[in-house]
Amino acid sequence: MLLDFDDAKHWVDVYRARVVGSTSEPDARVCTRFATSDLAAEGPPRYPGYPPRLLLRLLGSRIAMLFA
């Protein structure tokens, strides 16, 4: 696994299957526009891009980091 921080993201992409121990269920599936397989109908909602709620949460965390 390669973690590259050159794109200025303030989050880290993590593959759930690679985490050892118990994990929480995902809140949503993002960037599924080009998914080749049919995702199960049950489970978290799917978004073709980034949902507005996620973008607001990221913006809020970025602002909090500026003042911390």
Q: How far is 20 from 41, CA to CA, in rounded Å?
A: 26
pLDDT number for residue 38: 67
pLDDT number for residue 63: 92
Q: How far is 64 from 68, CA to CA, in rounded Å?
A: 6
Tens of pLDDT along 3-61? 566 666 666 677 778 888 888 888 888 888 887 776 666 778 888 888 888 889 889 98
Q: Is pLDDT at 1 greater than 60 in this prediction?
A: no
Tell me the pTM: 0.55
pLDDT number for residue 56: 93
Q: How far is 29 from 50, CA to CA, in rounded Å?
A: 9
Q: Considering the chain, what is the average pLDDT of its residues?
A: 79
